[in-house]
């Protein structure tokens, strides 16, 4: 499995911990995020994640900013992206089972780090249910 990850300065600490978790599982990581804490603009660091997921260069993506909103708004401008802003593992599981989310967006300033790591694990191991949800996600893109 290969995961692209992107974050702004608000997400650096969580990103580094998530990269550690993914590498411990032998998952390949493409890191587009800042590794620093100087203030940066989140679109510059999450558009590349969306492009990699859209183009099939990676299996899934993870984006992190302070609220998760800016990063989520940015990635969902890409037609092939179903980015889900989640703040607990239940929402994360439903984003996979019902929405086939291909990018998980984390609000670093509003969730604890252990919770974020648990959500990443849930995102990776949960499959799309298909069925009626397939029809619905097919209707999401603007024609």
Give the residues lining the site for ligand RB5 (CB under 6 A).
Answer: 8, 10, 42, 65-67, 69-70
State how far the Cα of 84 lies from the Cα of 68, in Å rounded to an integer: 9
For residue 130, give the DSSP letter: -
Burial string for 32-53 (b: 16+ CB within 10 Å, else e) reads: bbbeeeeebebbebbbbbbbbb
In the complex, residue closest to ligand RB5 by CB: 70
Give, in order, the Cα–Cα distances in Å from 9 to each of 1, 23, 89, 104: 26, 21, 24, 18
Give, in order, the Cα–Cα distances in Å from 46 to each of 26, 52, 103, 134: 23, 10, 10, 26
In the bound state with ligand RB5, the residue whose beta carbon lies nearer, of 16 and 27, is 16
Residue 91's φ and ψ, nearest 5 degrees, are -65, -35
Q: Is 142 a catalytic residue?
A: no
In whole angstroms, the minimum distance from the beta carbon of 42 to ligand RB5 comes to 6
In the bound state with ligand RB5, the residue whose beta carbon lies nearer, of 14 and 100, is 14
In the bound state with ligand RB5, the residue whose beta carbon lies nearer, of 23 and 109, is 109
In whole angstroms, the minimum distance from the beta carbon of 97 to ligand RB5 comes to 26
Q: Is 98 a catalytic residue?
A: yes
Instruction: Determine which one of 9, 47, 78, 98 is catalytic.
Output: 98
In the bound state with ligand RB5, the residue whose beta carbon lies nearer, of 19 and 33, is 33
Instruction: Determine which one of 9, 65, 78, 86 is catalytic.
Output: 65
In whole angstroms, the minimum distance from the beta carbon of 115 to ligand RB5 comes to 17
Question: Would you name the residues annotated as active-site residues?
Answer: 65, 98
């Amino acid at each position: 499995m290969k995961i692209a990850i992107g974050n702004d300065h608000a997400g650096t600490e969580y990103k580094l911990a998530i990269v550690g978790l993914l590498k411990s599982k032998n998952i390949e990581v493409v890191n587009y995020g800042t590794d620093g804490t100087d203030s940066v603009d989140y679109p510059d660091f999450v558009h590349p994640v969306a492009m990699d997921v859209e183009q099939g260069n990676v299996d899934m993506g993870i984006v992190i900013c302070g609220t998760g909103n800016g990063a989520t708004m940015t990635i969902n401008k890409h037609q092939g992206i179903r980015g889900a802003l989640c703040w607990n593992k239940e929402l994360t599981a439903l984003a996979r089972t019902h929405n086939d989310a291909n990018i998980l967006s984390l609000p670093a300033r509003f969730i604890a780090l252990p919770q974020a790591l648990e959500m990443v694990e849930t995102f990776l191991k949960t499959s799309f249910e298909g069925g009626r949800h397939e029809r619905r996600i097919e209707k999401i893109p603007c024609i």
